[in-house]
Structures are given as structure tokens and as C-alpha cells.
């Protein structure tokens, strides 16, 4: 029997060569943890933007056919009214006046259905452009004496605004997902390595 002791050096991220740093970043991005972090961020965004809604999301970002990001479920009208306050980048709902919002809430209170965002049952790309509720609401609300032609025009405009809003959000999340899952700056990798006390072999493989 003989005992063999192998000696080797380990390095902090800042001590690695450019080639080894590139491998360290690739290995980190290939780990499922990065995807889990992105999923958590998307969920937190939905809760913050639409706290009273029942919304979920699906995505596939593998550079394949049908890839994309889609939000589905039920949207609450009060969340749509306040979205520009929670997220100033989303201005789609600012076209409606205070009086128009009152009409929308009246329609919503007498609605036959919710504002439903469709699930993509085959792929994961955004289905916001297929959101439909105005026609059904109009058919039901025509029997109310408070209802008029202006409400019909308003509902059609509102339906399109909802489509535009969620298309905007899904496109933003898709772009963010590709950036987050397939790229990481040297500064971020340095910070992660320092925070977790990660050390590396000379070729960039994680040690330990």
C-alpha cells in the first residue's frame, strides 16, 4: 500500500485568468440555481405589480421554437388601475380618465366573467394578444339601463389596453430572462464569489 498526496493551488475569482473566469461564469450560468433565482424574481414581480390578482407565469427561454414568457390567470381591475404607480414604465392604463375608470368599475361590478389571461397550452410565448372579455361584457351589460354606446367603445379600448399592458410586461420579462440566464458580468460574478467564499481550480472549475 502507498499513500499519494496531490498538491494543487486554489484561487479566488479575481486571481483567475480571463479564460478561467469565462469558464467559471459558464459553469455558474449552467447551474439550475440561476433559473430558480429568475423564477423567484418573476413571482415577486407579479405579487408586487398585481397584488390583488390571481396570476401565474410560464416561460421557456432555450432559444427554441415557441420560446417566450406568458402571464395567465385572472387580473383584478384595481391592480390595472394602479399599475402605473407601482411600475411607472407601464403607462398603458393612463389613457383613461377618472370618469372612465368609474364606468369601468361599474361594468366590472356587473360583469358576467373575470378578466382572464389565457394559458399557453402548447408553448410558452405570450398570449396577451388573444385576451378577450369586452364582447361578452357588452352582450350582458346591454340590458342595464345605465349602459350606453360610450361604454361599449370604452370597453373595447380597455380590452386593447389590457392586451398591450401584458404584452409589454411579458416582453420585458422575456428580455430580462435571456439576459439573466445567459449572461453575467464580471462584477456580479466577483461579488457572488466573494459573498460565498468560492474558490476555483486554475482552469476555472469551482473548488469544493
pLDDT tens track for 63-121 = 888 899 999 999 999 999 999 998 999 999 999 999 999 999 988 988 778 899 999 99
pLDDT at 174 over 70: yes
The pTM is what? 0.88
CA 207 to chain centre: 33
Kindly report which listed range (50-64, 116-130, 136-150) carries the lowest average pLDDT score. 136-150
Half-sphere CA count of 23, side-chain side, radius 13 A: 12
- Residue 142's pLDDT is 78
| Phi and psi, residue 44, nearest 5° | -65, -40
Amino acid at each position: 500500500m502507498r499513500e499519494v498526496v496531490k498538491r494543487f493551488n486554489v484561487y479566488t475569482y479575481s486571481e483567475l485568468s480571463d479564460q478561467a473566469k469565462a469558464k467559471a461564469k459558464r459553469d455558474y450560468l449552467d447551474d439550475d440555481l440561476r433559473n430558480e433565482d429568475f423564477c423567484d424574481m418573476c413571482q415577486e414581480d407579479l405579487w408586487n405589480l398585481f397584488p390583488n390578482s390571481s396570476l401565474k407565469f410560464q416561460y421557456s427561454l432555450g432559444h427554441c421554437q415557441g420560446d417566450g414568457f406568458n402571464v395567465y390567470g385572472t387580473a383584478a381591475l384595481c391592480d390595472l388601475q394602479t399599475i402605473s404607480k407601482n411600475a411607472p414604465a407601464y403607462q398603458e392604463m393612463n389613457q383613461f380618465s377618472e370618469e372612465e375608470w368609474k364606468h369601468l368599475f361599474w361594468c366590472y361590478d356587473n360583469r358576467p366573467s373575470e378578466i382572464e389571461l389565457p394559458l399557453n397550452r402548447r408553448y410558452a410565448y405570450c398570449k396577451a394578444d388573444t385576451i378577450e372579455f369586452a364582447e361578452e361584457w357588452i352582450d350582458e351589460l346591454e340590458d342595464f339601463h345605465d349602459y350606453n354606446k360610450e361604454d361599449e367603445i370604452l370597453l373595447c379600448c380597455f380590452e386593447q389596453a389590457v392586451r398591450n399592458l401584458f404584452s409589454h410586461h411579458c416582453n420585458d420579462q422575456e428580455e430580462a430572462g435571456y439576459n439573466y440566464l445567459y449572461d453575467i458580468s464580471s462584477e456580479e460574478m466577483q461579488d457572488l464569489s466573494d459573498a460565498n467564499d468560492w474558490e476555483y481550480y486554475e482552469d476555472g472549475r469551482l473548488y469544493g
